Structure 1
Amino acid sequence: MCGGGTTIDTRICLLWRDKACRLLLGVFLSFAALLFCCLIWGKHLVVSVDGQEIPVIQFRGTVADALAKARVTLREADIVEPSLYSRVADAERIQVTRVTTEEITDQQFVPFGVEKKPDRKLAPGQQKVLRYGSYGLSRNYVQVTYQDGKEVKRETLRKVLIRKPQPMVVAYGPNYAVSRSSQRPVIGGAIRSNSIPEKGGKILTAVSTAYTHTGHRTATGIYPYEGVVSVDPRVIPLSTKLYVENYGYAVAADTGGGIKGNRIDVFFNTYQQAISWGRRTVKVHILE
């Protein structure tokens, strides 16, 4: 580039080229010095956000400054750990959790209650359904919270009753008389006692479990109530009157896929009663 021309022109050209080389060398050395300082005295951070790991080198400042360098934009509900205004430390990881919410609706059955009416025309311990109950229906407005796309919480904002439940009405005969020492509280119209029927037929030993309202009818077409027992009809025919130890007088009016052999499933009005019954071995009297 400096070839040809006068001697003065050649000298000027060489002078400019020398200045340019020195300038480039100065810039390179400055950059190298800056890089060296960053490596030695800079704080090495990692910002974890949106599935990415963003490295950041920072001499001082807060977590908020580090996020600004990483060009991370926060939303109002996002969670940052450590907190935004804490001072950064070397080898620190800054975790940004994206928080979003949405409102959804779902429908839920409202269980019906049971109204009991005494009826002296019925035999002691006998029950008769006067009116089958029906479940109500409610619409629930639910706020779902997500963290990084994963559901972490559901909160019911409000409930709207769409259809009121209708109670089941059951008539029952007078309670069996039992001695004062053996008497137990009456639950759901059935006697809870250890008194054994004076006249009984075959006695089975069975493994018993409990169930409660499901919204479905039994195998005999009725809605279950306390005193209904699910059986294996090959062992205990449907419509057989029973006395179940610690449960009371009952009728075999339902079946179940898991009820095989000497097993029964006794019905309770509430989930808590069914859980309290649990699983136990009982004696079942086949009444004649």
Structure 2
Amino acid sequence: MTAPTSLLHPDAFLSPFAIEEAVRRALDEDLGRAGDVTSIATIPAEAQAHAVLVARQAGTIAGLPLAVAAFQALSTDIIIHPHAHDGAAVARGVPVLTISGPARAVLAGERTALNFVGRLSGIATLTADYVRHTAGSKLRICCTRKTTPGLRALEKYAVRCGGGFNHRFGLDDAILIKDNHIAVAGGVRPVLERARERIGHLVKVEIEVDTLDQLKEVLATGLADVVLLDNMDIATLKEAVRLAEGRVVLEASGGVTQDTIAAIAATGVDYASAGALTHSAPNFDVALDIDA
């Protein structure tokens, strides 16, 4: 199977190997040991089908390359014509793909294709709504590691399709010192000094703070690149921006919702991270309609 990449968002990042692995795993899960026994029992092997993948709600589409890969993994005779690409805004009722080919293969790939497009489009659509609330500000909305196990690369890609940005992909991306690290290491300065002693020059260091006093302590060390402002109210975020004076990148986290994101953006922080983008996005309503 060769992963299709022409439908990927042009400014997002997703390895073709991640597509292939995810599709193979999903098809194996669904087809099990014997394949689609219903279609095999009821549909003649020579039967052909023509189907349309339709968006049943308005939003931002994502996951089309995975849908294509799912169908084409089941039959090289399937022909697919795209009507959109990942990251595109779509209206309710519009077709996003047409699929033609062996009926058994089309039916066997249906649920896997819909699962990928529904899940990833849901994330992209929710992210786009967050981004809309930050219009006119410098704020970038980003995701977290609160992702579905095994689907992180796909879900973070969907965030990019919605106009958001990615935080670290894993524990090996960057240093992110949280409250428990500080407690175990013996304080803000000791933990930052230990981090700086052990990392390369290209590794960024972010540290989480809960209070303005902690922020002042971090700023005094000059050892952090980014400060995560955890669960601070709007007034405190504004004061944090004033204190930092641009010396570090500031990220707001905790309580970042569609209702609060505009006010957070107005404080002047650089980033806001929201786990909800990936762990609470509703599924996007998409369907496969066979018309012949």
Q: If the length of structure 1 is used for normalisation, what is the TM-score?
A: 0.21
Higher share in strand = 1
Q: If the length of structure 2 is used for normalisation, what is the TM-score?
A: 0.21
Q: RCO greater where, 1 or 2, for CA within 8 Å and sep 6 or more?
A: 2
Higher share in helix = 2
Bigger Rg over Cα: 1
